[in-house]
Structure 1
């Protein structure tokens, strides 16, 4: 992430944020950078941990605490018999439900004690035979939202349930397309008021395209500037590179009074885009007679 842009300009400092964290953490589709808040993501991972604890524990009777869990639907038994009464029953305070079962049923089945605690426990315990005859482990189903079960836990589905889809901005596909320049996107996604300039006009002219004048109109146009997929990718990359370089040039002129001529910015843009086109060209599979994207680039910008 370009912390120099997001923070105060110092590479090793996160003090004095220039961009509201709400904007940085807004989904890409809504005009932000799509970063997840650690606090919110931690909640999702915490839910995943709870899910794993339950699903890896096997049967409820094996893993549930006899005294402290609400496994009888009457509430925790420790609340019924009070804190000091478990010792009267002979079952340790840390016992799980399975420890209270014997081959004959509950460990209290043959007790002749007249203790009120023992009598209360006998009345509260469910049928032991039904529990022992249950051979299948408990099944858990994850419901990220009421009425919508997805079976097993999904962190992405849970995140979307906790953060409903916001209103999309029309230009997000132009900014976050496949093959984008990551470093430039982090600036472009938040710096969307830069006007088209001489550098942008040079590339549009060389590609034999006609671009709108206003910035928002350009973004709409970039969704489908031409039927040629190679040229579409090229002009989108040029758009990102030009905005990034012009933004940097603006800051440099303000703080150092050093200026680069348009020709230098054009040459730097060409270098950035040409290098960025190499990886997709290596992966590209084209029908016979159709140019690779890098070949299309050189047909417009030789050398």
Structure 2
């Protein structure tokens, strides 16, 4: 209680039977604070994410399984809080550290041994990454929703109405200076305006003149900075400024004679980050996120019919992030680099895929199923060949991509089984499993053309004839 004497406050509490409290208190799951948000205020959020990550104790979870848990569950825990506050950087760092540790090491949450730097993991798949989102960028995108409500939600929201009435008043929101004394939350919202302004588009015939014509024209006209296009209209006719300005004359002459203002239309704002003009957090994130170059191989790794455990191992191989013996030797972890599959060559990516006699035999057995001639190539050349020869949506292209990913996955798994469990499987047994994986996925297709090539592949792989039905 504020603004009253201490003895008066005690009397009120005594009469009402309440106890005096202090900020911060929790309301609707978030802390109510009178100062800036501190790391201690978000401790419960961080602890909840850590506890949830540690609850999945099954060591059999693959990278692909943990990736789905990070995307769907762990990341979602912070979404509500991120849409209300700008989270402190220390909190964002703790949360991302937990997500990164769980992705690469599981529920142990070890911070060592990440395969790929987190900033590269948080890029779209077409840019060669896993499609996660950076928490800081997502937090800012979610907060842009408040700016959108301030500018567009004229009557429905009590909060936005209060902001316009008591904080913005008659000022231009975009030009409003950050007050020396204002709440931490309001200051953070005002600091987001440069991010929003690039995508907030006022539409003619009504709206700020600055957005329509630029600051120089407004200065020449003698109108105020907050003037709207309605200031140069008179009903359904134009009322151009009389200022002796060449720029204004150019605007007047460039306006078609049949283009008249519509006084019955209200101001409206469009979000430039989406073709529909409607704001969404997803499109806001897309407009402000970090970007990387698009990679050609993403269609080979992340196509719609990809098997997730296969895809992520192939992704690591393409990025040269598999811990082969050759790489471990370079870092001084081991001294022997002999391939465990053939017992002869040096185990690196070129040898494993597909120069090793064991892996070459496995790959050639699959190539025979496609009547595909194959010559020995380096790993980089093999990836390039697959990019060029698996384009399109034909059954052949789909089988090429699936058997490529399945081969990399099966070879790497067999290598690990022999290295850590001292168990070995025959090539024919591994190929049988791979054909089963590919066949099951292909059986989910429908509406394929019953061409001679597709018929031959369907019989060769044992795929159901239902794939040719239109339903």
TM bin, normalised by shorter chain, reads 0.5 to 0.7
Shift of 1:278: 1.0
- What do you get for the CA RMSD once the two structures are aligned? 3.9
Partners of 1:211 and 1:137 lie apart in 2 by 66
Could you list the runs of 5+ residues in structure 2 that have no partner in the other structure?
A: 1-63, 68-101, 182-226, 232-262, 321-348, 464-471
TM-score (norm 2): 0.44
Shift of 1:248: 1.4
Q: Is the 8 A contact 2:390 2:401 kept in 1?
A: no
Shift of 1:73: 5.2
Q: Is the 8 A contact 1:26 1:33 kept in 2?
A: yes
Q: Which residue of 2 aligns with 1:140?
A: 269
Partners of 1:205 and 1:229 lie apart in 2 by 18
Q: Is the 8 A contact 2:127 2:294 kept in 1?
A: yes
Q: For structure 1, which segment, 267-276 or 23-32, has the greater mean C-alpha deviation from structure 2 after superposition?
A: 23-32
Q: Is the 8 A contact 1:32 1:190 kept in 2?
A: no
Shift of 1:239: 0.8
Q: Which residue of 1 aligns with 2:308?
A: 182
State yes or no: 1:204 paired with 2:346. Answer: no
1:299 aligned to which of 432, 447, 459? 459
1:26-175 equivalences under 5 Å are 26-58=123-155, 65-72=164-171, 138-144=267-273, 151-163=277-289, 165-175=291-301
State yes or no: 1:218 paired with 2:378. Answer: no
State yes or no: 1:290 paired with 2:451. Answer: yes
Q: Is the 8 A contact 1:64 1:71 kept in 2?
A: no
Identify the structure with bigger relative contact order (alpha carbons < 8 Å, sequence gap 6+): 1
TM-score (norm 1): 0.65
Shift of 1:215: 1.8
Partners of 1:66 and 1:249 lie apart in 2 by 67
Could you list the runs of 5+ residues in structure 1 that have no partner in the other structure?
A: 83-125
Cα separation, partners in 2 of 1:155 and 1:211, compared to 1, 3 Å: farther
Q: Is the 8 A contact 1:2 1:187 kept in 2?
A: no
Shift of 1:297: 3.9
Cα-to-partner distance string for 1:81-133 (whole Å, 9 max, x where unaligned): x9xxxxxxxxxxxxxxxxxxxxxxxxxxxxxxxxxxxxxxxxxxx9xxx9xxx
State yes or no: 1:18 paired with 2:114. Answer: yes
Partners of 2:264 and 2:166 lie apart in 1 by 23
Higher CA-based Rg: 1
Q: Is the 8 A contact 1:58 1:137 kept in 2?
A: no
